Structure 1
Amino acid sequence: MATAPDEVIETLLRARDGRWSRQTKAMLAKAGTDRLTLNDAWASTAMSWVCPCCQRDKPSIARLTPSGVLLCQLDYHHDHLNDRAKAIFRADNPVPEEREAREQLIRAIDSCRQLIERFATSLLCNDCNAAEGAAKLALKAEIDPDFSFSPKEIAIFINPKPHQPHEIDVERAREIWRATKPVFEDLVSFAALLSQRVAAGRHRKERRPGSPYGRPLSDPEIVHHLLVAQAGERYRPYQLAGLLDARSRAASGAGSALRPKRRPGGAAPSAEAFAALDAKQQQTFAPWRAAPAAWRCEVCDRSKIEICRTSNAGRWSAQIHDVPEFELETDPVNLSYRLAERGRPIIGGHRSALICHDCRNIVAEAKRRAPGLTDASLTLEDLRATILAVQPHARHDVDFVSVLERGAANADRVAAVQDYWRHRSQASGLFHQATHLHKRCGWAIEDVEWTLAADTLPSAEEDPDRALEQIRWLLDQGAAFARQDRPDLATG
Structure 2
Amino acid sequence: MGVENGKGTYEESRQRFFAGVACGSIALDGVMSPLTRTLMERFGTKSVDMTFGWACTPMDWACPACGRTKPEIARVNSRGHLMCRLVEHHDHMKDLVKAEFERQCKQQERVVADEFAKRFASRAAPMVSAYDNAMICDDCNSADPTAKSAVGTHKDFSYSPQEIRRFVRPRLNMPHVIDIEEAAAIWQGHEHTFALRLKIIERIANIAATNRHWYQELPYPQRADSVKAHAEYLQQQHGAPGVIYELAGGKQPPPPAHVSAWRHVVHAPPRIRPRPKDIDYVAKVTFAKEWNAVDEGWRCPGCGRTKHDTVRKSNKGDWTLVLADRAFYAPGERYNSRRAVVCGDCGLLATNIGKEACLTAGAKTASNYAQFLTVAEIARVVLPQSHGRHNVKNEEADALVTRVVGRITSLERPST
Larger radius of gyration: 2
Interval containing the TM-score (normalised by the shorter chain): 0.3 to 0.5
Q: What's the TM-score, normalizing by structure 2?
A: 0.47
Q: What's the TM-score, normalizing by structure 1?
A: 0.41
